[in-house]
Amino acid sequence: MFRQAKWDEPTVFELSRPGRVGYTMPKPIEDVEVKIPEKLRRKSELNLPELSEPEVVKHYTRLSEMNYGVDSGIYPLGSCTMKYNPKINEEIAGHPGVAYVHPYQDERTVQGALRIMWELEGWLKEITGMDRFTLQPAAGANGEFTGVSIIRAYHLDRGETQRTEMLIPDSAHGTNPASSAMAGFKVIEIPSKDNGTVDLEALENAVSERTAGLMLTNPNTLGIFEDEILEIAKIVHRAGGLLYYDGANLNAVLGKVRPGDMGFDVVHLNLHKTFSTPHGGGGPGSGPVGVKDFLKDYLPVPLVGYDEENDRYYLDYNVPKSIGKVKELYGNFAVMVRALTYLKIMGREGLRETSEIAVLNANYITRKLKGTKGYELPGKELRKHETVFSAEPMKKETGVKALDVAKRLLDFGMHAPTIYFPLIVHEALMIEPTETVSKEELDAYVDALKRISEEAYTNPEVVKSAPHNTAVKRVDDVLAAKRPIISWRMYRELKEKGEIDI
């Protein structure tokens, strides 16, 4: 039986004791006084905690023990591709040639770093069928913003100022419309058919001379391959729009199918999903963007170039119509190093086997769970890397919601799937097992979901009151939003006023 560590760990502020230090500072070169103008000198209290190093280490070790990661067990968050993060990635990323290198160093002193970026770009080009990549975006959404900004710049450059609409399926990730809006587009939502794929008729009706592009995830967020993708591409291109590939789901077709061959013009990838770099509790990620040749002049600066004659890598700022920068410097380099390490180990056949097993695992769960009372499988049965069930029948018949199922799964030492997404499925449970979990873990996951179904129909309270075995009981997020306590400073103020009792 799973029991998560439970430490009742105070905050660092509560652990503080006067006079303790957790560091040693080198001495200054010269002990001369440097006067800061009086009005700029810090006079306000600096309420930082005072702890020794062993206390700091124990505190954060205890906190880590109250956190569930990929290394703890199955973590099948749909659309997040929580695959195993190989340890060798960390080893390579920890090289002094990564950590202790300044981004403005003379190119001759950073040939290794530039080569890593050049090689990574080469892999990504072949994997996606694109002609040029920027590695600058820090995350998927930052990549989306880059991609749609490129689409915007392309149309403006051609004088097509009327192309102000971005088409986005209703099953899309929330970042798609948000990124498009940030780049100044009006978002037009395209409805999905009952089987979860794009409604071609609706798409035909939506395209016009105002269409800038269509953002698409393939396979889509139900894990269903858009089998009419070539027709979709034709419709969008005929209308003068461009096709954008959200790479969140690339793990489904990695090493088998290239977005470029499906007709996509712009692609973003998530190195922290498909290419095994760890998510770090929310980031850092890395969201490279690839484009077809006709869009390469719009990419952010700098690109990485290679002068074959002199065997020299360089930063290329000569990108005539560049949209500018989407992040400082060159992107999350330490993440790129990890991704390249992974790619080199996997190689051509390893990448293909990756998507094959990821798809096998998702279909295994689909078939094994299908027919279980309370869960319903919307859309087509054949899935790619993820599957979506609806707990709507369970909710109607027992009052147990997708949220309760998710919480109950935690009790078995398993992470919940993504819930309530995609929005087009009611009470959605979106499960993406990835290729790095074993058959036994899949069986155990299906068994747990079946057991929860049984409980829902016989003893629903045990599900509704879950979780029971985690570090804390169910957390009140309504209270958190109603009376925000965002920092220790706020907490102290409210506490002094007697307004809270936490």
Partner 1 sequence: MGRHYLPNLPQKGEMLREIGFESIDELFSDVPEGMVKEFDLPEGKSEYEVFTELNEVLSGNKTVLEMPSFLGAGTYFHYVPAHVKYLIERSEFLTAYTPYQPEVSQGMLQALFEYQSLIAELVGLPIVNSSMYDWGTAMAEAALMAARHTKRKKFVVPRALSPEKKEVLKTYTAGPGLETVDVPWDERGQLDVEKLKEAVEGAVGVYIEMPNFFGLLEENIVEIGEIAHEAGALFVVGVDPTILGIVEAPGELGADIVVGEAAYFGNPMNFGGPRAGIFAVRNDRKLIRQMPGRIIGMTKTEDGKRAFVMTLQTREQHIRRAKATSNICSNEALVAVAAAIHLASLGPRGLRELGEVILKNTAYLKRRLSEVADVPFDGVNFKDVPVKFRVPYDVIHEGLLENGIHGGYYLGKHFPELGEAALFAATETTRKEWIDELIEALKEVA
Site for partner 1 in 304-323 (CB under 8 A): 323
Residue ranges in 191-210 that form contacts with partner 1 under rule CB under 8 A: none
Token pair for 302: 């700098």
Residue whose tokens read 């330490």: 334
Of the candidates 162, 184, 294, 373, which one interacts with partner 1 according to CB under 8 A? 184
Cα separations in angstroms, 262 against 198, 234, 252, 453, 468: 15, 10, 14, 40, 47
Site string for partner 1, 443-482 (x = CB under 8 A): ------------------------x--xxxxxxxx-xxx-
d(CA 146, CA 324): 10
> What residues between 108 and 147 interact with partner 1 by CB under 8 A?
108-113, 115-116, 123, 126-127, 138-142, 144-145
Residues 321 to 350 in contact with partner 1, rule: CB under 8 A: 323-335, 337, 340-342, 344-350
Does position 275 bind partner 1 by CB under 8 A? no
**Residues contacting partner 1: total by CB under 8 A:** 209
Nearest to partner 1 of 237, 457 (CB atom): 237
- Closest distance of CB 221 from partner 1, Å: 12
Complex with partner 1: residue 461 or 479, whichever CB lies closer: 479
Least CB distance to partner 1 at residue 382 (A): 6
Q: Contact, 151 vs 213, CB < 8 A?
A: yes
What residues from 403 to 432 belong to the interface with partner 1 (CB under 8 A)?
A: 406-407, 410, 415-416, 418, 421
**Listed residue (205, 203, 213, 237) closest to 163, CA to CA:** 213
Map the footprint of partner 1 across residues 45-74, applying CB under 8 A: 46-51, 53, 56-57, 59-72
Q: Are 262 and 218 in contact (CB under 8 A)?
A: yes
Closest CB to partner 1 among residues 80, 207: 80
**Residues 130, 431, 437, 448: which binds partner 1 (CB under 8 A)?**
437
Using an 8 Å Cβ cutoff, are 433 and 414 in contact? no
The distance of closest approach from Cβ of residue 426 to partner 1 in the complex, given in angstroms and rounded to an integer, is: 16
- Site membership for partner 1, residue 255 (CB under 8 A): yes
The edge-to-edge listing of strands for the beta sheet with 165-169 is 132-134, 289-291, 266-268, 242-246, 211-216, 165-169, 186-190
Torsion of CA 140, 144, 150, 156, to 10 degrees: -160
Contact status: 279 vs partner 1 (CB under 8 A): yes
Taking the complex as a whole, how short is the minimal distance between the CB of residue 29 and partner 1, in angstroms?
Answer: 4
- Considering only 204, 230, 318, 396, the residue that binds partner 1 (CB under 8 A) is 230
Angle subtended at Cα 17 by Cα 16 and Cα 18, rounded to the nearest 5 degrees: 120
Could you tell me the smallest distance in angstroms from the CB atom of residue 336 to partner 1?
A: 9
What's the CA dihedral at 173, 177, 182, 186 to 10 degrees?
Answer: 170
Q: Does 388 bind partner 1 (CB under 8 A)?
A: no
Q: At closest approach, how far in Å is the CB of 116 from partner 1?
A: 6
Among 360, 372, 444, 457, binds partner 1 (CB under 8 A): 360
Nearer to partner 1, 23 or 396 (CB): 23
Give min distance, CB of 193 to partner 1, in A. 14
Measured between alpha carbons, how far is residue 286 from residues 13, 56, 95, 209, 445 in Å? 33, 29, 19, 33, 30
Q: Dihedrals φ, ψ of 99, to 5°?
A: -65, -45
Q: Is 242 in the site for partner 1 (CB under 8 A)?
A: no
Closest distance of CB 41 from partner 1, Å: 6
> How far, in whole angstroms, is CA 118 from its chain's centroid?
23
CA atoms of 354 and 435, how far apart (whole Å): 6
Binds partner 1 (CB under 8 A): choice among 4, 305, 321, 444 = 4
| Contact between 180 and 166 (Cβ < 8 Å) | yes
Residue type, 138: A
Select from 204, 283, 294, 461 the one that contacts partner 1 (CB under 8 A).
Answer: 283
CB-hemisphere CA count at 13 Å for 107?
13
Residue among 327 and 457 whose Cβ is closer to partner 1: 327
What single DSSP character describes residue 44?
Answer: S
Site for partner 1 in 18-37 (CB under 8 A): 20-23, 25-32, 34-37
